[in-house]
Amino acid sequence: MKKVAISIGDLNGIGIQLALENHAEVSKIADPLYCIDKEMLKQAARKLDLSVPEDFCFTEAVSFPFEIRPGSVDKESGAYAYASFTKAVELTRTGKADAVCTLPIHKKAWEIAGVKYKGHTDALRDFFNAEAIMMLGCPQMYVALFTEHIPLKEVAGNIKEKELTRFLVDFYRTAKPQSTVAVLGLNPHAGDDGVLGDEEVIIKKAIDNAKQILGERCCEGTAPYSDPLVPDVAFTPNVRKHYTHYVAMYHDQGLAPLKALYFDEGINVSLNLPILRTSVDHGTAFDIAYKGVKLNDLSYLNAIKYIAENA
C-alpha cells in the first residue's frame, strides 16, 4: 500500500473536514500521513465537532499554531498551509512517502503570508528545477494545459515551437496515455488554413516534432498526437469517444469543458517531476467551511486512487 503525505491545505477551509471524514475510506486505498500537528488537529476537530480516528497518523512541528477562523483569508492560515505542503514534499523527496496529495489552499492567503509562489505547481517547478506539467481530469477525460495562469492576451505569443515540442514529448512520456492524445488548435475553426490565425502552423510543427521524437506510431500502434483539432467540437460526444487525453493551449479552453462534464470527480496531477503530486480540483469553499455541510468527496478520493495506481 502506497504511503501518501497529505498536505492539509488552508485550515480555514474544508480540507481538514475532508481528511477527517474520509480517513477510513482513504485508509483502504493508501497509507495516509497527514501534515498537521496535534494542536491544530485537535482545534479543527473541535470546531467541526468531529472525533479524530485513533489511527490518524500526523506529523509534528509543521508551523506555528494559530486560531482557526473559518472562511477567513489570513496570513497565519496561508503560512501554515505552505508549511504543510513543504513538509509533504520533503517527506516524499526523502523517500518517507511515495507521493504527495494536496488539499486546497487559498492563493491570496499564501500571498499575504509572504509565499512567493502562486500555487503548488509553481512551487514544485522551483523546488525541483523541472518543467512540471499540470494535468486535470478523471479517467474518462484528462486535460493538460500548455499555458496555465497567464492573461488570455498573452497566450498566442507564448505558443512557440520549441517549448510546445518539449511539452508534448514530456507529457506523453509521463502521462503514459494508452491512445492518441487530442491537441486543440488555438483559433476558431483551428485557423481555417490561416484565414482566422496562423498559430496552428506552429502547433502542427510541434506535433510533427514530437511524433519524430516519440515515434510516429508508438502506443499500441496509434500515433501519439492528433493534428490540431477545432476547439469548439473537440469535446462533443462523437469526438470525445476517441480520446481520453487532451492538450489545451490555455486554461479555460481545456478546463471549461472538463468541469462542465466532470466537475465533481476531477483531480489535479503534477507530472514530469521526480515525485508524484495529486490534488483535489476544487477550492477551499470558505462559504461552507465548518458549517456542518456534507462535502462531496469524489475529487479527494480520486486523487488518492490515482496515487495508489500510479506511484
Q: What is the 3-state secondary structure (H, E, C) of 259-303?
A: HHHHCCCCEEEEECCCCCEEEECCCCCCCCCCCCCCCCCHHHHHH
Q: Is the pLDDT of residue 191 over 90?
A: no
The residue that leads in pLDDT, 98 or 218, is 98
Reported as a pLDDT band with limits 50, 70 and 90, residue 241 is: very high
Residues of the chain with pLDDT > 90: what percent? 90
pLDDT: which is higher, 20 or 194? 20
Q: Which residues pair with 269 in a beta bridge?
A: 135, 278
pLDDT at 219 over 80: no
pLDDT confidence of residue 193:
82
pLDDT, residue 217, reads 65
Q: Where are the domains of the chain?
A: 1-130+275-311, 131-272
Task: Note the pLDDT tens digit of each residue in 59-106.
Answer: 987 888 999 999 999 999 999 999 999 999 999 999 999 999 999 999
Is 221 a residue whose pLDDT tops 70? no
Q: What pLDDT does 223 receive? A: 87
Q: How far is CA 234 from CA 25, 143, 181, 183, 190, in A?
A: 36, 12, 12, 9, 11
> Which CATH class name applies to 131-272?
alpha beta
Question: Sign of torsion, CA 307 123 249 296?
Answer: positive
What is the per-residue pLDDT across 100-119, written as a single tens digit (0 to 9) for each?
Answer: 999 999 999 999 999 999 89
Query: According to the model, what pLDDT value does residue 192 have?
Result: 84
Helix (H, G, I), strand (E, B) or coil at 81: helix
Over residues 192-210, the mean pLDDT reads: 92
Q: Name the packing angle between helices 120-128 and 75-93 (round to 10°).
A: 40
Can you give the pLDDT at residue 108? 96
Whether the Cβ atoms of residue 310 and residue 302 lie closer than 8 Å to each other: no
For residue 6, list its beta bridge partners.
34, 101
d(CA 247, CA 304): 23
The one-character DSSP state at 7 is: E
pLDDT at residue number 7: 97
> How far apart are the C-alpha atoms of 234 and 184, rounded to whole Å?
7
Superfamily of domain 1-130+275-311: Isopropylmalate Dehydrogenase (3.40.718.10)
The whole-chain average pLDDT of the chain stands at: 95
Of 290, 304, 258, 264, residue with least CA distance to 32: 304
pTM, whole model, 2 decimals?
0.91
**Cell matching residue 70:** 473559518
